[in-house]
Chains A and B, each alone.
Chain A
Amino acid sequence: MTEIAVSSTKLPVGSKGREASGWWGMLALVATEATLFAYLLFSYFYLASHSPPPWPPNGPPELKLAIPGTLVLIAGSVTMWWGERGIKQGRRWQLVIGLIVSLLLGIGFIVLEGIEWAGKPYTLGSSVYSSLYFTITGFHLAHVVVGLLILAVLLLWTAFDYFDENRHSAVSIGVIYWHFVTVVWLAVFFTFYISPRLG
């Protein structure tokens, strides 16, 4: 071997922001997950268009829990964005607060959704509409739970002092998923709560 030169530019080593493979990997995962929801919502509209009116059979679902739930989820995304911004500038306390508040808001969403589920007069097998309702909102709920797991693990790792302004790829990658959970809820919310009111 002959050493010829040392490269003129210094390159970052290891996981750095958007140069981390995991960042791209998470985007690809989100793309395929978003497609999964697209197929779920396709199924909803397909079955809706092939069902005799009225659709939904019991009228559009009420908004009194769904709107607060939506706002809680959006707020959770904002707080997480704020927390991530903190660690980018080396403010670990800001990330910790962001994670804790987002976790609590996520749990709040699950509670609201749980109350709404419990108040439904039908179950999974009652009709094609109820099958769609519980399956699709259930899919989303499962994604919220995974998102909360991610936030909890990130909180643990932050407590271990793993991240600073140079190294926080795990946070940036996890946060993408959390935003995805919010965005996809907007599509689910529109489909179930808004679209029946448009006709």
Chain B
Amino acid sequence: MSTTADNYRAPVIARATDASPISETLQRNWEGAGGWRGWLSTVDHKEIGKRYLITAFAFLLIGGLEAAVMRAQLARPNGHLLSPEAYAQLFTMHGVTMIFLYALPVLSGFSNYLWPLLLGSRDMAFPRLNAFSYWVFLFAGLFLYSSFVLGKAPDDGWFNYVPYASREFNPGPNIDVYALGMVLLGVSTTVGSINFIVTLIHTRAPGMSINRVPILIWGTLTASVGNLFAVPAVSLAFLMLWMDRQLGTHFFDVTGGGQPLLWQHLFWMFGHPWVYAIVLPAMGMVSDGLPTFCRRPLVGYTAVALATVTTMVLGFGVWAHHMFATGLPLMSLSYFSASSMVIVIPSAVAVFAWIATIWTGRPVFTTAFLYFSSFVLLFVIGGVSGFMTAAVPVDLQLTHTYFIVAHLHYVLIGINVFPVVGGIYYWFPKFTGRLMNETLGKWGFWTMFIGFNVGFFPMHILGLAGMPRRVYTYPSGLGWGLWNMVATVGSYVFAIGIAMFIINFWISLKRGKASGPNPWGGPSLEWSTSSPPPVYNFAVIPTVASRYPLWEKHMDDVSGESTIHEGLLLDQGRETIGTSLLDAEPKVILRMPGDSYMPLLLSLTLSLLFVGLLLHDWEGWWLVGLAALATVLAGIRWLWPLPSLGETAEMSHD
């Protein structure tokens, strides 16, 4: 039986850094096996975060290559580099890759790496779930690309409307791969979101009350809560589509009494919140990065945090603005048009906060600052074109034209890619202990910025001139040739900018200047520990007393004294502190699980289950059965209560 002594402990408060002797104990507690075993079994959030970043970037490059081939086709009228079938697969995979395999995962990478460091904790709330979420993402990405090599990739656009996606009109494996792959990917997104939510609720440093967390935390938290309520819609829609195709149900099939429009409702009920999920964390990165380079706190912290949440809440009530041309009743068109326009308000609040921060600060023009500040401009352009298409009559004219292509690229590249590249410049020293090259960085920035605008702004004009999206070629004499050539050249310049960034990345990885813990004079907790951080993050858990714990000495009007290198010493195994939801008062000493193969094993069995479902005509059922059994067994093994985690009556000590 457990005793009171096992169950309760008064933690020691100590002064220490990762240079103190105690760090050896902590290192021993937290480090993994090393070698390939360690690689396969690690649950360290920093390792997982880096994997997310690199994998997402690989997908960005693949999606970029697909776009480059399409731009080559469209550069001149009557291009015939690609057949219509190949073009359909390319634009579909380009969208799927960028939206699902790059845009959110890359932000998950940042958040996985940074969250525990920003929160003054030693890991995410569920370290094994974190590893699982990465592996499932990776396998789902491979799954979605599995039919690409056979020339049978998904080919109905990323929003995959029925009846084109129905078996009758699309009998190959193309759509089945997409449908099942998206359900699998949804598992990864969902468990990742749960992990972020519980991490915020439960594992902040003492004193980091909810109104002191960095805006990136607000962004990722909002995105995660949004995902919790949005992802089921798309997983369900894809499962129902797969059932229509393979099991003979009639959800979307008119002849059986189904409704094709149900697909669009379910897809966009997910799709629009998702758009915010893939930009809000990036906006959070800018909200945290700009103050560092403007040498002042963010203007309107509370307003920006509330704007973040408001955007997502409103984002659940605007989905039908993707469906203005489908013949919905006028009443609902009016409602969705109005609600879409209302989103301008929280967006503008954030924009003015960023502008005021720059305006009233003393900006240091680093490469990261250039990316963050140009993001504001691109966001405004993308926002204005979005506002335009929120008006029903304008949308009826512009829907399914290149105007929409221009809009969504300004939004996704402007609000996601620019902050992401800026974020790499900003946090690269923390990830690696080295600085990226600023000269090459600035050249790369201007190449990207100019290339992007030259490449994508003309698409507005093409859209207004009536060029439909997703056409594999177009005849001459329509006046589209010139702007298409400009767009192709611009987008290639943009690609060169990306290449310069990658070259800078590789060179700096090996030869960058040593950065020290805080090269930019940043205000938040991640800058208080070594670069790269030790495996246990913090030798003692800091105590936080303000929003900018590292700036308290430099600012007159900040009250509060955070103690960074003095705090709870939790050294009896893998331990971190669990705190209360609003005020972050210490509530419990959390025992964290060690490295484990279970996340990898479970994601493999789950992926095999989906492979089994994909195999046609029930040949896969034996595989489905075996994989389901293995998944259950691996899940039970994973959840088995351990004395070392304080999950059983008999508690053990390391």
Spell out A's residues near B (CB within 8 Å).
1-16, 19, 21, 24-25, 28-29, 31-33, 35-36, 38-40, 42-43, 46-47, 50-51, 124-125, 127-129, 131-132, 135, 149, 153, 157, 161-164, 166-167, 169-170
Contact = CB atoms under 8 A, between A and B. Distances in A.
Nearest to B231: A32
Contact of B16 (A1, A39, A125, A128): A1
Given A1-B20, A24-B202, A39-B269, 4 more contacts: A14-B7, A28-B193, A47-B259, A162-B647
B591 A31 contact: no
B228 A127 contact: no
A164 B2 contact: yes
B247 A124 contact: yes
A3 B10 CA distance: 13
Interface residues of B, number: 73
Contact of B236 (A36, A50, A149): A36
A182 to B, nearest CB: 20
A158 to B, nearest CB: 10
B247 A13 contact: no
Nearest to B644: A14
Minimum-distance CB pairs A-B, first 6: A14-B646, A125-B248, A128-B257, A131-B249, A36-B232, A1-B16
Interface in B259-295: 259, 262, 265-266, 269
A14 B650 CA distance: 12
Contacts of B228: 28, 31-32, 35
B251 A131 contact: yes
Contacts of A12: 7-8, 587-589
Contacts of A128: 250-251, 256-258
Nearest to B577: A11
A9 B229 CA distance: 38
Contact of B266 (A39, A157, A166): A39
25 contacts: A1-B20, A9-B10, A10-B8, A12-B587, A12-B588, A13-B588, A13-B646, A21-B203, A28-B193, A32-B193, A38-B232, A42-B266, A43-B251, A47-B257, A47-B258, A124-B247, A125-B248, A128-B251, A131-B249, A131-B251, A131-B258, A162-B647, A167-B647, A167-B649, A170-B639
Contacts of B21: 1
B16 A2 contact: yes
Chain B CB within 10 Å, residue with most, of A29, A50, A167: A167
A11 B587 contact: yes
Interface in B233-251: 233, 235-236, 240, 243, 247-251
A56 to B, nearest CB: 11
Interface in B524-540: 539
A6 B9 CA distance: 10
Given A1-B20, A13-B8, A14-B645, A31 B229 contact: yes
Interface of B: 1-2, 6-16, 20-22, 125-126, 129, 190, 193-195, 197-198, 201-203, 228-229, 231-233, 235-236, 240, 243, 247-251, 256-259, 262, 265-266, 269, 539, 566, 568-569, 578, 586-591, 632, 636, 639-641, 645-651
Contact of B262 (A14, A21, A47): A47
A149 B262 CA distance: 34
A25 B126 contact: yes
B190 A32 contact: yes
A7 B12 contact: yes
Contact of A14 (B231, B251, B651): B651
Given A14-B647, A25-B126, A125-B250, A4 B578 contact: no
A166 B4 CA distance: 9
Contacts of A167: 2, 7, 646-649, 651
Contacts of B639: 153, 170
A35 B14 contact: no
Contact of B256 (A5, A14, A42, A127): A127
Contacts of B15: 1-2, 4
Contacts of B20: 1
B195 to A, nearest CB: 8
A125 B251 contact: no
Contacts of B248: 124-125
A108 to B, nearest CB: 22
Contacts of B587: 11-12, 19
Contact of A1 (B129, B568, B569): B569
B589 to A, nearest CB: 5
Chain B CB within 10 Å, residue with most, of A1, A10, A36: A1
B194 A3 contact: no
Contacts of A14: 7, 588-591, 645-647, 651
Nearest to A32: B228
A7 B256 CA distance: 68
A166 B647 contact: no
Nearest to A132: B251
A11 B589 contact: yes
Contact of A21 (B11, B198, B257): B198
Chain B CB within 10 Å, residue with most, of A9, A11, A43: A11
A167 B4 CA distance: 12
Contacts of B262: 43, 46-47
A141 to B, nearest CB: 15
A40 B126 CA distance: 29
A51 B589 CA distance: 56
A11 B11 CA distance: 8
A184 B306 CA distance: 32
A10 B10 contact: yes
Nearest to A168: B649
B427 to A, nearest CB: 26
A13 B194 contact: no
A32 B16 contact: no
A86 to B, nearest CB: 14
A35 B232 contact: yes
Nearest to A17: B588
B126 A21 contact: yes
B632 A3 contact: no
A124 B233 CA distance: 21
Contacts of A1: 14-16, 20-22, 539, 569
Contact of A5 (B13, B194, B539): B13
Nearest to B22: A1
A11 B9 contact: yes
Nearest to B566: A4
Contact of B646 (A15, A29, A35, A153): A15
Contacts of A157: 640-641
